[in-house]
Structure 1
Amino acid sequence: MKKKMALIQMDVTYGDPKVNFARVSKWVMDAASTGADIIVLPELWDTGYDLERLDVLADKDAKATTEFLSDLAKQLNVVIIGGSVAEESKDGMKNTMLVIDRNGELIQTYSKLHLFQLMDEHLHLVEGHDAADFELEGVPSAGFICYDIRFPEWLRKSAVNGAKVMYVVAEWPKPRIDHWRVLLQARAIENQCYVVACNRVGADPKNEFGGMSLVVDPWGEIVAEGGSEEKMVLAEIDLNKVDDVRQQIPIFRDRREERY
């Protein structure tokens, strides 16, 4: 089984959801015109890291954002891994991923578990609780947000549950972009799965972001890679490769869970 991916490595206008919604609409339509099956957006594409104003910027229960992405997915017959958005929930403000299928149905949400203190997330956001495991057109998959990839045990949990594709959305800062690349390759190798990772570019008042969106195969080889500029990163993945690699080196069979 093969799937065509389009990663939207876009800049994000700080604190202006209206502008960002318009830009995402154009990017998604352009991506659909390439024949992409699955379109991936970056982290907090709606507001950027304007965390101090989430009380006026965040989307109540992510309702408006879900409707917006659902309409696009249904109209264009594509799956949208909707990056993440600022959600005002009953528990507080969350950084939430939305996964929308071709029918415009919301099939999974995931609120970021690991809050990044260096960018003050812990001061403005509440963490999520549940893993983002889901089945996407017959493919076991999982979603993660940025800082999550520094916690291999969190991603391994989804791999043990059968995930063949891990989607990562991020606003990863440029000063540590080398870590981004190495960590994503490591997560792909150790979990013998595809990692599809979309990072934004550009800057906000406090940070510069590195781009370098990646699609990594189960051997850790880079299938496609973005640079540091705004662009659409296209790639085709072959899901049969996951099974082949897992048969050649059966790490899941050889795990010793009773020891760790």
Structure 2
Amino acid sequence: MKVSVVQMDMLLAEPEYNFKHAEELIRKAAKDKPDVITLPETWNTGFFPKENLEKLSDKNGEKVKAVFGSLAKELNVNIVAGSVANSKDGKIYNTSFTFNRSGECIAEYDKTHLFTNMGEEKYFEWGKNVVTFEIDGVKCGIIICYDIRFLELVRTLSLQGIEVLFVVSQWPDRRLKHWQILNMARAIENQMFVVCTNSCGTANETKYAGHSAIIDPFGEIIAEGNDSEVILNGEIDLNIIKNIRDTINVYRDRNPKLYKIN
């Protein structure tokens, strides 16, 4: 599986510009003929404008589906379209949409852990569901930014059989080390590939870290960005998963009767 990671710099509260820019970057990434292209978190609005957020949000994902569903079909590529501020059912969600090569929306995930340090829960509704999907026959999972700190969520996805975890984010530069270590740890402890797509640039006073990466189940970095806008390309060899699980089978050796997590 060949993956192209779009580390995008977006403008805060400028969805019209951001949609156009995201499409430009997707088309540029598609020239390398990847199987999957990814975007970061809330790329339509940035993270996150507190004034007029509902007006700035997509409406039930309609524009994302129209633009990126059509793009996926036209370019014959799977698109993990990051996440967007998404207004539905009278509330605003931080929602990720994924499209297959036919342009069908095959996964919709609402962020389940909201970042209360920045008051995200005052503007967005908590997601309620864990989501998996298949890309070209490969079982995958999706989480959004702060979700990466909750190992229970990622282990739940891994126990459902995913081999690739997509992480879409707007992670700040001041916690870059956390971003790198947490993504690497989730890859190693769950013996799976992690494709983490972060934003870059500055919104208000927050500088975002970039350093998107593709990480293998051994924790080795296949590709990693810097702090500028860039498209990363990397190849995922799924045979590595079988190799490491045959060598160190943590799934066989788990002792779940000891684990009491509420």
> Is the CA contact 1:52–1:124 (under 8 Å) kept in the aligned structure 2?
no
The code of the aligned residue for 1:221 comes to: E
The code of the aligned residue for 2:2 comes to: K
Moved segments of 4+, more than 4 Å? none
1:22 maps to which residue? 20
> Is the CA contact 1:188–1:194 (under 8 Å) kept in the aligned structure 2?
yes
> Is the CA contact 1:9–1:41 (under 8 Å) kept in the aligned structure 2?
yes
**2:11 is the counterpart of 1:13:** yes
1:238 maps to which residue? 237
**2:127 is the counterpart of 1:157:** no
Task: Report the CA distance between 1:91 and its aligned residue.
Answer: 5.2
> Is the CA contact 1:59–1:86 (under 8 Å) kept in the aligned structure 2?
yes
Matches within 5 A, 1:206-221: 206-221=205-220
**2:158 is the counterpart of 1:167:** no
Number of aligned pairs? 258
Gaps in structure 1 of 5+ consecutive residues: none
Gaps in structure 2 of 5+ consecutive residues: none
Cα distance change of structure 1 residues 130 and 9 upon mapping to structure 2, 3 Å threshold: same
SS of the residue corresponding to residue 254 of structure 1 reads: coil
Matches within 5 A, 1:173-184: 173-184=172-183
SS of the residue corresponding to residue 125 of structure 2 reads: coil
TM-score, with structure 1 as normaliser: 0.97
Aligned equivalents of 1:186 and 1:55: distance in 2? 35
Aligned equivalents of 1:51 and 1:234: distance in 2? 34
Matches within 5 A, 1:1-260: 3-48=1-46, 49-90=48-89, 92-260=91-259
Aligned equivalents of 2:51 and 2:115: distance in 1? 15
TM-score, with structure 2 as normaliser: 0.97
Task: Report the identity percentage.
Answer: 40
For the aligned residue pairs, the C-alpha RMSD in angstroms reads: 0.8
Aligned equivalents of 2:10 and 2:212: distance in 1? 15
Deviations 1:185-205 (Å, cap 9, x if unpaired)?
000000000000000000111
Deviations 1:99-154 (Å, cap 9, x if unpaired)?
10000000001000000012220110001111121122111110000000000110
Task: Report the CA distance between 1:206 and its aligned residue.
Answer: 3.1
